[in-house]
Amino acid sequence: MMRAYDIILKKRNGEKLSYDEIKFMVDGYVKGEVPDYQMAAFLMAIYFRHMDEEERAWLTETMANSGDKIDLSSIPGVKIDKHSTGGVGDKTTLVVGPLVASLGIPVAKMSGRALGHTGGTIDKLESIPGFRTALSEEEFFRNVKEIGIAIAGQTANLVPADKKIYALRDATATVDEVSLIAASIMSKKLAGGADGYVLDVKVGSGAFMKTLEEARELAHAMVGIAKAHGKKAVAVLTNMNFPLGRMVGNSLEVLEAIKTLKGKGPKDFTELCLNLAAWMCHLAGRGTFDDCLKLVEDSLKSGAGLEKFRQMVEWQGGDPRVVDEPEIILPIAREIVEFRAWKSGYVYAIDAEKVGIASNYLGAGRRTKEDIIDHSVGIEILKKVGDKVSEGETIALLYVSPRSDVAEAIKLLRESYKLHESCPEPEPLIFGVVQ
């Protein structure tokens, strides 16, 4: 008979675990048969001793099988999901999903809410008046079959093992271990039922992975897990040393996504959206990456992606006028505070994490799961890295409400902006691809 004690000891000593041993720990913890203190010890043993590729695949599988799984086989076509490891100003799903769906590739996406300094796609979509992210299974499938896209919140019983284990990792300083991060992300992807995944792995100050080496290791781990389960996958390593685009905050990011679908978005954000959408098309079998890039560029230029966004909003109960009059329909704070340059020079760096936390102080994010988000507040970055600024010039705008802690947000913005006499060397937006 298996005992949690023996499995913890085995991993603590650096030995490889079997599928059955990993399953015993995960299933036992979900059922309440393995207590918190033993699971915490098990996680700490993994933290220090790590897991090999096979153990990671088994851990992911047992977590994915711990609750409901979505069967997308009734939807015709190759279903490709996109996942971002989380960044500041990262509203790519709002653009990439409609672009890909407009090309006849089904997008059946489960998304999460904000926690920490990064925003959540579901919170952003709920900025649109009437937009429903809690769809029944029937509605979710109907929308994907009829219009090719649905973006909904995760069902309550999707990967309960991850919810329970993540809460324990958070309380026991075992969050940042590559096998545990990869299994957490990929268990939700496997349970979501797609045929393949494009993984946007963020790197830099505003990302979970601060260095390229860490990000590449996580990318290889996630792609390896996908392939071990017979799924297609590609990971794109993208720069999060500065906020993506210009808007940070829920309604503001929806506004920027709509502008981008109209062909008027910021250069960096547009480039990333086109790149991720092209990889999704490539995994769906639409040709080489370059062929697919041309397809998504055409969809953007023709307005097909924008019309697909309008259709998605309408089918999920939102006000479709948001596409034509986003500034009027979206709840955007009317009180604006200007943040000015304290000296002349060039914007040398912007710490994305601090910008994300600053927007939280305005009310745009959550510090705990229970916090209520203010969709109307946020930050607009007027001057980005490499831009020349004069003393007293406005470099960012704060959209604030009576509940906003403006002083704390300004303090964080002041810490995040680095102004120098010399212009910085430009950094790439995309560091590389892992396939």
Query: Could you say which of 109, 117, 164, 188 is catalytic?
Result: 188
The helix (H) or strand (E) run that includes residue 124 is helix 121-125
Chain length of the chain: 435
Strand pairing partners for 434? 235
State how far the Cα of 197 lies from the Cα of 178, in Å rounded to an integer.
18
Query: Could you say which of 111, 127, 179, 184 is catalytic?
Result: 184
Active site residue 229: no
Query: Could you say which of 123, 162, 200, 268 is catalytic?
Result: 162
Which residue from 39, 51, 32 is spatially nearest to 8, judged by alpha carbons? 39
Active site residue 117: no
Query: Could you say which of 11, 23, 83, 232 is catalytic?
Result: 83
Query: Could you say which of 56, 82, 117, 169 is catalytic?
Result: 169
Active site residue 169: yes
C-beta separation of 113 from 125 below 8 A? no
Active site residue 12: no
By DSSP bridging, strand 196-203 and strand 345-350 are unpaired
Q: Strands (DSSP E) along 54-105, which ranges?
A: 80-84
Residue 15's alpha-carbon distances to 7, 22, 45, 55, 60, in angstroms, are: 10, 13, 10, 11, 19
State how far the Cα of 412 lies from the Cα of 88, in Å rounded to an integer.
14
C-beta separation of 434 from 235 below 8 A? yes
State how far the Cα of 312 lies from the Cα of 108, in Å rounded to an integer.
12
Active site residue 184: yes
C-beta separation of 226 from 112 below 8 A? no
The residues annotated as belonging to the active site are 83, 162, 169, 184, 188
